[in-house]
A and B are shown apart, each in its own frame.
Chain A
Amino acid sequence: MGAEGIGARVLRKEDRRFITGKGRYTDDMTAPGMGFAAFVRSPHAHAAIKSIDTSAAADMPGVTAVLTGDQLVGDGVGNLICGWMIHSKDGTPMKMGAWRALEAERVRHVGQAVAVVVADTAAQARDAAEAVMVDYEELPAVVDAIDAMKEGAPQLHPEAEGNLIYDWEIGDETATNEAFARAKHVTRMEIFNNRLVPNAMEPRAALAAYDEAEEHYTLWTTSQNPHVARLVLSAFYNIAPEHKLRVIAPDVGGGFGSKIYIYPEEMVCLWASKRTGRPVKWVADRTEAFLTDAHGRDHHTEAEMALDEHNKIIGLRVKTVANLGAYMSLFSSSVPTYLYATLLSGQYDIPAIHCNVKTVYTNTTPVDAYRGAGRPEATYVVERMMETAAREVGMDPAEFRRKNFIRSFPHQTPVIMCYDAGDYEASLDAAMKAADYAGFGTRKAEAAKRGKLRGIGFSSYIEACGIAPSQAVGSLGAGVGLWESAEVRVNPVGTIEVLTGSHSHGQGHETTFAQLIADRFGVPTDSVSIVHGDTDKVQFGMGTYGSRSGAVGMSAVVKALDKVEAKAKKIAAHLMEAAEGDIVIEGGELKVAGTDKSLPFFQVALAAYTAHNLPAGMEPGLKEGAFYDPTNFTFPAGTYVCEVEIDPDTGRTEIVNFVAADDFGKIINPMIVEGQVHGGLTQGIGQALLENASYDESGQLLTASYMDYCMPRADDVPSYKLTTTETLCPGNPLGMKGCGEAGAIGSPPAVINAITNAIGTNEIDMPATPEKVWRAIQAAKMPAAAE
């Protein structure tokens, strides 16, 4: 692999600027004459707008303009859209309600923007925003998805009767019913997946600058996918044709899905920049982030698992209601369908599965993909069912899983996915060994002496990453292809720029992508620059989400490198008068195999650019591009084991050991992969123990700041024990599967299974707060007390 090649723990090239305070985030950008935007937001979850009076605000000091939704619509700015078409089981298309960047008629969630002020300073803009008078007529609100489907519930959109967006199904219902009819045992559970707020530490921000002379816009913004942003802003929101709109996503402080989407505020900044003739900047405060960043999860599920007399799973039946909030966010429709139900087979050979998903509107913040997106929901259902079923039939939970593992590949599940490779037993064994499962009984007894309840829980997760084969997702309703592009530019002096459509917002692409070059050409990573996040520099790309940057983004780089290598070898062969097939690349040199002839890489590059002596007919230059479209999803999988101790006096859960055994296929940089797992695990543990977006009945978000929304802190989580096993993904050139989401996908059920193991119940919902756990312990004590 070489010191910096594939598999090396190369320290990050991007770190220097971050540790010295020289990172360049959107809020760090300025433009001459820049004004600041502040949004006027609805304090009501559901209300008709009777009037908006901007006159007092317009007269406030420093105010350039106060703009409303009528003006936005009048200027032809389009409604926000959802880009993935889902059809109900009756064949009707999903019901997309109209969503305007500035609402003029009816607000549908607290925090929805109804007007914007542009002023000389952010404080002046905020002062004036408070002076905008909006006359609302309050309407009844509904926040819970089940309630929203009930007769007489407040209706959000005229397009969606009964607030139903779609009623979708997957799998063979008849076969599944037959399996249940002959089942020896059926496990049934009602499972909630709590609503989360992504909370990237950098709040969303935008700086939009309109150049009147060129009729051209530049947008600096906190995006995971600037090209998709440009495409949507151009093609659907009518901001400007693509060649007149440059989107730059500079350093971005975390995304976790929440920065995939194009939000009202960024659109409005672009529009307001043209309207006011000055660059317009907006930076969300944390409360705005809580109210407007797309939330995640919020599922209510009824699940049934059918076992035969040998404790083999023969069927799975799942009914899920998913809350999509007040509007359909950009990819919201795909999350509870193709990113969720297609993973319900887990790591198990389940011959029959049927899943029905209903999605509904409520007066809450829109819900979309958040780290894991659908796959955590699926894993949570499957892995809680596995644990409960094992307990009900009296099997060890690890052995019950082992008995039902898929063992041959490729494996076609009943829910679309065809798993290409894996060794689930290997990761289970690795996890059990690292967790010292055999010693658990001793540890539990020792904890009991200290008055603590100790429990252990498993989760054997699988996810579909490497999103995604374009033709396949197109057939399932995606509005875009999900390939990736790359360009490798070798400079005349032999340094290299790699342009990628992937975007790094913490993932370390500047290091790992450079490692591919170091591996291929034997040049130091310091001679490689990774260029990303700017639509003027990189031709096109689909961005970073769904653990796709490695499996898809790097595969595109590999394809481009293949072309560069082929051309470099041709040139080297020509210069050294050797056969092309005899040229090998080693240690930064192109050599003629079996001879002492060699040329340093930079000399070959120089030769390509001087073009004084190239093979006949060859074009000068050494620059190649490639598009890579995957042929299948990738399937990272693994087993997590969580061990907890619970203080019965307070119900507080402490995670005393957490083992993750992951199979990510080929790993480029183990240090970075471990970091991804640490972060994912912590987000998953946060979901399991701490985090919850809680609304009151009137639609007010009760957890709209860190005073009430419980972010995991350092003392909430342990140091983790990580191990990996490896089966290579056969679908891409490097054999990579992806690692960005696994931790968040696999960990919640492991934590909950450990808690239920400790306190001797199968029922507890996330987040398992101390009070919930304490109450469960009290409830378990009741019969004893009655004796």
Chain B
Amino acid sequence: MYETTYHRPKTLAEAGSLLAKSDEAKLLAGGQTLIPTMKQRLAAPSDVIDLRHIEDLKGITETPSGGVRIGAAVTHAEVASSDIVKRQLPGVATLAGGIGDPHVRHMGTLGGSIANNDPAADYPAALLALGATVVTNKREIAADDFFTALFETALGEDEIVTAVVFPKAEKSAYAKYPNPASRYAMAGVFVAKLGDGSVRVAATGAGQGGVFRIGAMEQALGSNWSADAVAGVKVSDGDLLADIHGSAAYRANLLTVMAKRAVAAAG
């Protein structure tokens, strides 16, 4: 790791001004991606700004419309064990409980995960499938507009994710096929039936451009919410990732299988 300077702001405003002060500063949430990257000398931030001690970024609350607001600094373990999340968004609880390993889940956060937008990360699939809203210190961004490209988001230079607001969902479930080595998603599919009856399906781990929606599955499920409905829907492997762990064709197959399993789990 290169030398860096550590900061521990107590407020969002303080974090924002620290971030604005330096071009090479990085926000440190759970650190479960940033620190390994720094250890491998693939990132060299001049400053790291620890967000874990800012009260505004914490907490899980139910919104008046039956959705759930999760603070950016809430850990995966907290989400997975939250009664509110388990009741309202069981798919999100499952997803959070399957990220990394127990130790990683004690540190890793929702905000860190989505701001990094790793193509194999789990959370982006939930946000996109549920049509969540990303709240920052400056504005609100719809999930559809948030994830722009591999490891890229709509976040501006000095913007900090403060929370994610998930709408009310009738059904939600997530199924992932983990990379056998890293345990990141090789194909993860989040299915959701929202409060307004609309159906959204998002896939992670498999797309060359990161998380994406699977329109054909949304249509199929919209008219018939059943595992059988997606069983025949094949995702074209043209835009899918291929690596030593799985070809694009194999990932395409996994997307269909995971979609079936997610729908079955959603009931």
A178 at interface, CB cutoff 8 A: no
Most buried by B among A690, A716, A771: A771
Set of chain A residues within 8 Å of B1, measured between Cβ atoms: 123
Chain B interface mostly: loop
Chain A positions 472 through 498: 1 when the CB is less than 8 Å from some CB of chain B, otherwise 0: 000000000000000000000000000
Q: A130 — which chain B residues lie within 8 A by C-beta?
A: 41
Closest-CB distance, A676 to chain B (whole angstroms): 25
Identify A708's interface contact among B177, B244, B250, B254, CB under 8 A: B244
Report Cα–Cα, A771/B180, bound state, in Å.
Answer: 11
Residue of B nearest to A127 (CB): B2
Instruction: Determine which residue in B1, B40, B253, B260 has the highest number of CB atoms from chain A within 10 A of its CB, and name it.
Output: B253
Query: Which chain A residues border B244 with CB–CB below 8 Å?
Result: 694, 702-703, 708
- Residues on B with C-beta less than 8 A from A703 are 181, 244
Q: How far is the CA of A209 from the CA of B236 in the complex (A)?
A: 61
Residues of chain A lying within 8 A (CB to CB) of residue B250: 770-771, 774-775
Return B259 CB to nearest CB of chain A, in Å.
11
**Which of A287, A650, A708, A774 is B181 in contact with, Cβ under 8 Å?**
A708
A708 with B182, Cβ < 8 A, contacts A123-B1, A127-B2 known: yes
Tell me, yes or no, whether A526 is within 8 Å of chain B by CB.
no
Beta-carbon contact of B180 and A690 below 8 Å: yes
Measured between beta carbons, the chain A residues less than 8 angstroms from B16 are: none
Q: Which residues in chain A, 755-787, are within 8 Å of chain B measured between CB atoms?
A: 769-771, 774-775
Which A residues, 683 to 712, have Cβ-Cβ distances below 8 Å to chain B? 690, 694, 702-703, 706-711
Alpha-carbon separation in the docked complex, A775 to B182 (Å):
22
Q: In chain B, what residue has the closest Cβ to A716?
A: B180
B247 in contact (CB, < 8 A): yes
Compute how far the CA of A711 lies from the CA of B180 in the bound complex, rounded to whole angstroms. 9
Task: List the B residue with the shortest CB-CB distance to A771.
Answer: B250
How far does the alpha carbon of A649 sit from the alpha carbon of B244 in the complex, in Å?
19
* A702 contact set on B, CB distance < 8 A: 244
Encode contact with B along A531-575: 1 for CB under 8 Å, 0 otherwise: 000000000000000000000000000000000000000000000
User: Does B9 interact with chain A (Cβ within 8 Å)?
Assistant: no
CB contact under 8 A between A649 and B180, given known A123-B1, A771-B247, A774-B250: no
Expressed in whole angstroms, the minimum distance between the Cβ of B170 and any Cβ of chain A is 26
B87 at the interface (CB under 8 A from A): no
Question: 1/0 per residue B222-266: CB within 8 Å of A?
Answer: 000000000000000000000011110010011001001000000
Pairwise interchain contact A769-B257, C-beta atoms closer than 8 A: no
Interface size class of A (residues with CB under 8 A): 20 to 34
Least distance between A433 CB and chain B CB atoms (Å): 33
Q: Is the CB of A709 within 8 A of B181?
A: yes
Interface members, chain B 145-200 (any A CB < 8 Å): 177, 180-182
Q: Which of A123, A649, A708, A775 contacts B245 (CB 8 A)?
A: A708
Inter-subunit contact A769/B180 (CB<8 Å): yes
Asked whether, in the complex, the Cβ of A707 is within 8 Å of the Cβ of B247, the reply is: no
A130 to B41, CA, bound (A): 10
Say whether A706 contacts B182, CB under 8 Å: yes
User: Please, which residue of chain B has its CB at the minimum distance from the CB of A778?
Assistant: B253
Which residues in A have their C-beta under 8 angstroms from that of B257? 649-650
In Å, the complex CA distance between A649 and B3 comes to 48
Q: A709-735 vs B: 1/0 string, CB under 8 Å?
A: 111000010000000000000000000
Q: What's the A-B contact tally at a CB cutoff of 8 Å?
A: 44
> Contacts A650-B257, A774-B253: A710 and B180 contacting too (C-beta < 8 A)?
yes
By a CB distance below 8 angstroms, the chain B residues around A649 are 253, 257, 260
Q: Which of B181, B244, B247 has the most CB of A within 10 A?
A: B181
Q: How far is the CB of A432 from chain B (nearest CB, A)?
A: 31
Report A252-293 residues with CB < 8 Å from chain B CB: 287
A residues in contact with B2, CB < 8 Å: 127
Give the residues from 1 to 27 in chain B that come closer than 8 angstroms, CB to CB, to chain A.
Answer: 1-3
Cβ–Cβ < 8 Å partners of A770 in chain B:
180, 246, 250
A726 to chain B, nearest CB (A): 38
The answer on a CB contact under 8 Å between A707 and B180 is no
Which of B3, B41, B181, B253 contacts A710 (CB under 8 A)?
Answer: B181
Q: How far is the CB of B256 from chain A (nearest CB, A)?
A: 9
- List chain A residues, Cβ under 8 A from B177: 650
Query: For the complex, what is the distance from the CA of A694 to the CA of B181, rounded to whole Å?
Result: 13
Interface string of A98-130 (1 = CB under 8 A from B): 000000000000000000000000010011001
Smallest CB gap from B256: residue in A? A649
Minimum C-beta distance from B194 to chain A (A): 28
Contacts of B182 in A (CB 8 A): 706-708
Nearest CB to that of B2 among chain A residues?
Answer: A127
Q: Provide the residues of chain B in CB contact with A774, threshold 8 Å.
A: 250, 253
**Chain A residues within 8 Å of B253, by CB:** 649-650, 774
- Cα distance A641–B3 in the bound complex, in angstroms: 54
* Residue from A649, A702, A706, A709 with most neighbouring chain B CB atoms (10 Å): A649
Chain B proximity mask over A646-674: 1 for CB below 8 Å, otherwise 0: 00011000000000000000000000000
CA distance A318 to B15 in the complex (A): 68
Closest Cβ of chain B to A80, distance in Å, is: 28
Q: In this complex, what residue of B is CB-closest to A692?
A: B244
Whole-angstrom distance between the alpha carbons of A710 and B246 in the complex?
A: 13
| Bound Cα distance A709, B181 (Å) | 6
Among residues of B, the one whose C-beta sits closest to the C-beta of A703 is B244
Known contacts A650-B257, A774-B253, A707 near B246 by CB under 8 Å? no
Q: A707 contacts B254, CB within 8 Å?
A: no
Contact B181 A711 (CB under 8 A): yes
Question: How far is the CB of A756 from the nearest CB of chain B, in Å?
Answer: 20
Chain A residue contacts of B254, Cβ below 8 A = 650
Tell me the nearest residue of chain B to A710, going by C-beta: B181
Find out whether the CB atom of B181 lies under 8 angstroms from the CB atom of A771: no
Interface string of B109-148 (1 = CB under 8 A from A): 0000000000000000000000000000000000000000
Residues of A within 8 A of B260 (CB): 649
Q: Which residue of A lies closest to B184 (CB)?
A: A707
Residues of B within 8 A of A711 (CB): 181
What is the distance, in angstroms, from B185's C-beta to the closest C-beta of chain A? 13
Which of B3, B40, B246 is the one whose CB lies under 8 Å from A771?
B246
Bound Cα distance A123, B39 (Å)? 10
Report the Cα distance A179→B250, complex, angstroms.
44
Which residues on the B side are within 8 Å of A775 (C-beta)? 250
Distance A708 CA – B184 CA, assembled complex (angstroms) = 11
In the complex, what residues of A have CB within 8 A of residue B180's CB? 690, 710, 716, 769-770
- In the assembled complex, the Cα of A173 lies from the Cα of B233 at a distance in Å of 57
* Contact between chains at A706 and B247 (CB < 8 Å): no
Q: Report the minimal beta-carbon distance from B117 to chain A, rounded to whole angstroms.
A: 18
Q: Nearest chain-B residue to A650 (Cβ)?
A: B257
Instruction: Report which residue of B2, B41, B245 has the largest number of chain A beta carbons within 10 angstroms of its beta carbon.
Output: B245
Which chain A residue shows the least CB distance to B258? Answer: A650
Name the residue on B nearest A767 (C-beta): B180
Distance A702 CA – B242 CA, assembled complex (angstroms): 13
Task: Other than A708-B182, A708-B244, give 17 A-B pairs with Cβ distance below 8 A.
Answer: A127-B2, A287-B40, A649-B253, A690-B181, A694-B244, A702-B244, A703-B244, A706-B181, A706-B182, A707-B181, A707-B182, A708-B181, A710-B181, A716-B180, A769-B245, A771-B245, A775-B250
Enumerate the 10 nearest inter-chain pairs by beta-carbon distance, A residue then B residue, closest first: A710-B181, A707-B182, A771-B250, A649-B257, A710-B180, A694-B244, A708-B181, A771-B246, A702-B244, A650-B257
Q: List 19 A-B contacts (CB under 8 A).
A: A123-B1, A126-B41, A287-B40, A649-B253, A649-B260, A650-B253, A650-B254, A650-B257, A702-B244, A703-B181, A706-B181, A707-B181, A708-B181, A708-B244, A711-B181, A770-B180, A771-B246, A771-B247, A774-B250
